Structure 1
Amino acid sequence: MEQGNNMKSPSQCRQRTISLQSPLGKIQVSGCENGVHTIQILMDVPPAERSGDTSLSCVVTVSNGQEEMGPELQHCVEWLRAYFSEPWTVGRLPLPVFHHPTLHGDSFTSRVLQTLVRDVKVGETVSYKRLAEMAGNPRAVRAVGGAMRRNPVPLLIPCHRVISSGGQSGMYMGGKGNHLKQWLLTHEKVKEED
């Protein structure tokens, strides 16, 4: 996730936002030529009304009058498409480049998110406590929770894989997305059939 020191500030970027339809509902991905800024899961469709289809489709194109998606957003869409159709394959795919200040530098939040994306693979979970230890500060369990809340790119950085030490799934999206967290964890445990 490290970038060079001459990285443009996200506020100086020509951002594009695309909307995707997913099994979780609508997802908005924002980014620029330098990388992905944010991913938002909008929860616009009640879970009971979603189809069993786990594919991802691009339903609304780019905003701000931009006609093309750009290579980094396109890469993100391809990664998300693979994740929703065959989650076990994304470990072999490179992640899109991130272009959000939270993900750069040496803050504890950045270290936690970098550790999570690097060390906790598809189908695995980690406790808040263990993630704090892995990030270098075993007593910073609450700070790990804060880092999960500040994650600008959920799904790509899998904050849904962080659970309580007792095995409960914990909060997701401020508690409003707990059902989505459970869906994601179950989705990731589905193995490729031979």
Structure 2
Amino acid sequence: MARLRARLAAAAERDGVLDIAYRIVDSPVGSLLVAATEQGLVRVAYAREDHDAVLQHLADKISPRILHAPDRLDAAAHELDEYFAGTRRDFDIPLDWRLSAGFRSTVLHHLQEIGYGRTASYAAVAALVGNPRAVRAVGTACATNPLPVVVPCHRVVRSDGGMGGYLGGAEAKHFLLALEAAA
């Protein structure tokens, strides 16, 4: 079955009918679905998001031509492995930003400015993007981040020092912050 899937993925890639490739990556925060288009990584999803629902959303928003094609995501999987091993601080893989737009996209693009091992409050991020009153909108942007871990929304915390919410759950956010603090 694995050989058949590999042949199917190779044929789809060769014939130009593979718009989104995906694979599942095991990590210390659970299984992550990673998906990419020709432009780059388009989605990272925690298991709690329901991987089947995420794939359906990608089919609805981008293209129904989705295939489990793990080889196309080797670089992303390798960078995630390095990150979780504590040997990578920044991701170099190209990103496809099409699942975020407007103010949310602006916020997500600025999250890279929060350095590894550091945090910033939702209010500080709102000020960083030039709209200091948009604290809740920053929270919404983080909550709908299509590229968690890679785009570090886990580094955004509450002004009172509390963790705040996280798409991957409180345990995952705590783990990521502890991982980065240990470096």
Normalised by the length of structure 1, the TM-score is 0.71
Q: Which runs of 5+ in 2 are unaligned?
A: 1-16, 50-65
On the 8 A contact 2:123/2:132 being kept in 1, the answer is: yes
Q: Runs of 4 or more off by more than 4 Å in structure 1?
A: none
Q: SS of the counterpart of 1:39?
A: strand
Q: TM-score, normalised by structure 2?
A: 0.75
List aligned pairs for 1:91-170, cutoff 5 A. 91=90, 94-103=91-100, 107-117=102-112, 119-170=113-164
Find the aligned partners of 2:182 and 2:173 in 1 and give their Cα distance. 15
Question: In the comparison of the two structures, how many residue pairs are matched?
Answer: 151
Identity fraction in percent: 32
Q: Quick one: which amino acid aligns to residue 182 of structure 2? A: V
Cα distance change, pair 140–85 in 1 and its aligned pair in 2 (3 A) = same
Letter in 1 for 2:96: H
User: 1:163·1:170 contact (CA, 8 Å) conserved in 2?
Assistant: yes
How big is the alpha-carbon RMSD for the aligned residues of Structure 1 and Structure 2?
2.2
Larger relative helix fraction: 2
Once the two structures are superposed, residues 95-146 of structure 1 have per-residue CA deviations (whole angstroms, 9 ceiling, x without a partner) of 211113144x6x21111111111x1011000000000000110010010011
Contact 1:29–1:40 under 8 Å retained in 2: yes
- The 5 A counterparts of 1:167-186 are 167-173=161-167, 177-186=169-178
Report the equivalent of 1:16: 21
Secondary structure (helix, strand or coil) at the match of 2:124 reads helix
C-alpha distance in 2, partners of 1:112/1:100? 12
For residue 173 of structure 2, give the secondary structure of its aligned residue in structure 1. helix
